[in-house]
Structure 1
Amino acid sequence: MSAVPTEQSAAVLRATAGVVAEHAEQISAVFYRRLLSTHPRVAPMFSRSGQASGAQQRALAAALVAFTEHLLGEPRRPFDAVVRRIAHRHASLGVAPEQYPLVGRQLLAAVAEVLGDAVTPRVHDAWDEAYWLFATALVAEEARAYQRMGTDPARPWRPWRVTARTVATPEVVSFDLLPTGLDPLPTFRPGQYVTVAVDLPDGGRQARPYSLSRAPGSGSLRITVRRVPAVGTAPQGVVSAYLHEQVKVGDVLDVSPPAGDVTLTPGTDPLVLVSAGIGITPMIAMMGHTARLRPQRTVVAAHADRSPEHHPLRAEMLEIGALLRDFQLHTRYEPHSPVQIDVDALPLPDGARVYLCGPLPFMRDVRAGLLRRGLSPDHIRYEIFGPDPWAGNPT
């Protein structure tokens, strides 16, 4: 991504980036309040639980800071991956280019509300330019994503029928899905997700992404959903609770086409798949695809969980592993959070491609350990459920 601000704007951004970064979370909170009160029709695109816990505000703040660093030539990491991740998420929700002006107005208004008189016309114009550079990059990437998905952003949802419902653990349920009409089953790459939108009993509508937990070619799509409990002041996950409590075989769900760019790398390089909790779902799809097409490929799987009984899809992982010629499984069970993996004991075959999926602290620790062991950052990819507050500081 080659976004470059004007020289005048760059000077203003450099002079004000520190104070904006210092107040980024407060700006984000004000932005969401303003946006959702002024434009309530966009509320289904934003997670209620993410708003309540502050995760969504922290994610926007991290992206804002990271993009400013990128513009000023001072990035702590390449920003292209952040743009792709956000764009895929937006494409799965049907975000359209015409929504960016209203977002921009509310974001700049939030900056002015929080920083007050410090936002002079020159400061406003510089940050407006920065926003539109960011928006333009997202719109372009979203257009490519829509094209690959074969999706009209005005109609991102299709009706899918639940053909099977399988309890995986006391808190995890899998749902098999098929299109209700004549639409063909979409192709997808292992590691991608679909977004499910539900109409809640209170009249609201919410959407959540769920990794596809079975390899392509099985004749249906499958998602595996962990019920998100209430923790502290954060409420329970409203969509996961709805799916667990209300959805049965024969019901119809609104589902977007497969999206996401953290997908299995073709080739013969060894794979190291590291997961915790429900983060196992994309790993199962990657393992299944590898077992069917390249069973000779070395696969190391490492999973952390509370117990074998809480390990989702454990039996399926072992069954797929038996089809691979060179497979190692490493598990670590701890009854209390946070769950961890001993990175120093993890086998790392030469040239390994590593995939991470699990809670953010877990992935941070694993990634940092892999980097200490000398693995190239380019060989480590990660998937995140929900907002991405890691965008600006992955280590």
Structure 2
Amino acid sequence: MLSDKARPVIEATLPLVGSRIGEITPKFYDRLFAAHPELLDGLFSRSNQRSGNQQQALAGSIAAFASHLVNNPGTLPEAVLSRIAHKHASLGITEPQYQVVYEHLFAAIADDLAEVITPEIAEAWTEVYWLMADALIKLEKDLYAAQSNTRMWMPWTVVEKTPAGTGAMTFTLAPADDTPVTPALPGQYISVKVQLPDGIRQVRQYSLSDEAGTSRTFTAKLDDGGEVSPVLHRSVAVGDTLEISNPYGEITLKGGNGPVVLASAGIGCTPTASILRSLAEAGSERQVLVLHAESSMESWALRGQMTADVARLDGADLEVWLEEPQAGTKAGFMSLREVDLPADASLYLCGPLPFMKKIRNEAIEAGIPATRIHYEVFGPDIWLAA
């Protein structure tokens, strides 16, 4: 935990560092990639670097961690750390890379805050960094150790490629070698690595969208301005081999018999569809409420699968919001204020950030505690709603 020596320094400088972290992180990445350009080949997302999302996520995580240490002595922000660790593990982050990040991050801090930084301030923020890094290293080691193999990337063959609504495609994979397969949990994701036309490799995370276990099926929405989804949609064919990671992610179905609410928007239905499929396959008697928001029925990527699974469950109900409503659907944006939420429900949430913030706030207003709200972010976690 934060030392007695460092605590008052962090309390005094957190407003300043917090206000500058958004300027510090771009300088950090500039330094990092100048020294290690290989990190953009198969690790960091070029798209997220261009958009600024990666910089914003790093800034938010450091500020959130430091704030937690100051405001909650003796504890760590477990939810934030767990989400970051799962994402890191899906990318194959290693312990030595934390030292590389430290060197370039603190060089950027020293450069940006040159007029005010002192050895005492640098020492205190170094302590914060390594508290966070050491916690992540431990979590990531545990995640790696839980896998059925020690490999980061495994070859899997595309055995099916099928359209899934307007602008989405479902890929079903089979192992291409004899590497032991880690059973996936419903709601988890895998990293998929592809080589782009310029020769650079890029990685994206995709939630498993069907049965979990030892099978691998994911659904990807086409982003014409992206780098990876156009390759998957237009270049990858049945019979081709993809490199994928072991499964990670913590938006997994928790045990018990309590009610389950699955709320999603757009392609955010992929992890909730996997959870719903697992409930249907198990013949679950739990009360299940499925809520989905979409622009149109035609664009709903997994409509057939999800409606069929709802029909298989005696205790399941489905409510749908559309921009242009049809019979049996609601109009406009999803609102939990229009829903009779079951008591003691657990909420599983995935979709665009504004959607998730709105639904999370409404769920808390309705009496669902934050500890029973589980969410997944596609891309860098720029929300950090612990």
Deviation at 1:151, TM superposition (A): 4.5
Q: Which moved more, 1:248-257 or 1:183-192?
A: 183-192
Amino acid at match of 1:220: S
Give the Cα separation in 2 of the matches to 1:106 and 1:269.
47
Amino acid at match of 2:59: A
Amino acid at match of 1:13: I
8 Å Cα contact 1:278-1:358 kept in structure 2: yes
Give the Cα separation in 2 of the matches to 1:248 and 1:28.
39
Give the Cα separation in 2 of the matches to 1:103 and 1:301.
41
Question: What corresponds to 1:7 in structure 2?
Answer: 4
> SS at the partner of 2:162?
strand
8 Å Cα contact 2:149-2:181 kept in structure 1: no
Question: What corresponds to 1:286 in structure 2?
Answer: 275
8 Å Cα contact 1:178-1:185 kept in structure 2: no
> SS at the partner of 1:309?
coil
Q: Which runs of 5+ in 1 are unaligned?
A: 230-235
Question: What corresponds to 1:308 in structure 2?
Answer: 297
8 Å Cα contact 1:280-1:303 kept in structure 2: yes
Give the Cα separation in 2 of the matches to 1:141 and 1:36.
26
> SS at the partner of 1:45?
coil
Matched, 1:267 2:249: no
Deviations 1:350-383 (A, max 9, x none): 2111100000110000000111112111111111
Residues 208-357 of structure 1: pairs in structure 2 closer than 5 A: 208-217=204-213, 220-229=215-224, 236-334=225-323, 340-357=333-350
Deviation at 1:29, TM superposition (A): 1.2
- Name the count of aligned residue pairs: 379
Give the Cα separation in 1 of the matches to 2:324 and 2:167.
15
8 Å Cα contact 2:86-2:140 kept in structure 1: yes
Residues 130-145 of structure 1: pairs in structure 2 closer than 5 A: 130-145=128-143
8 Å Cα contact 1:215-1:284 kept in structure 2: no
Question: What corresponds to 1:390 in structure 2?
Answer: 383
Question: What corresponds to 1:27 in structure 2?
Answer: 24
Amino acid at match of 1:108: F
Give the Cα separation in 2 of the matches to 1:296 and 1:149.
30
Q: Which runs of 5+ in 2 are unaligned?
A: 326-331
CA RMSD of aligned residues (A): 1.8
Matched, 1:148 2:146: yes
Give the Cα separation in 1 of the matches to 2:252 and 2:78.
16
Deviation at 1:127, TM superposition (A): 1.0
The percentage of aligned residue pairs carrying the same residue is 40
8 Å Cα contact 1:157-1:255 kept in structure 2: yes
> SS at the partner of 1:118?
coil
Question: What corresponds to 2:364 in structure 1?
Answer: 371
TM-score by length of 1: 0.92
Give the Cα separation in 1 of the matches to 2:206 and 2:260.
22
Give the Cα separation in 2 of the matches to 1:319 and 1:74.
46
Amino acid at match of 2:70: L
Question: What corresponds to 1:96 in structure 2?
Answer: 94
TM-score by length of 2: 0.94
> SS at the partner of 1:117?
coil
> SS at the partner of 1:263?
coil
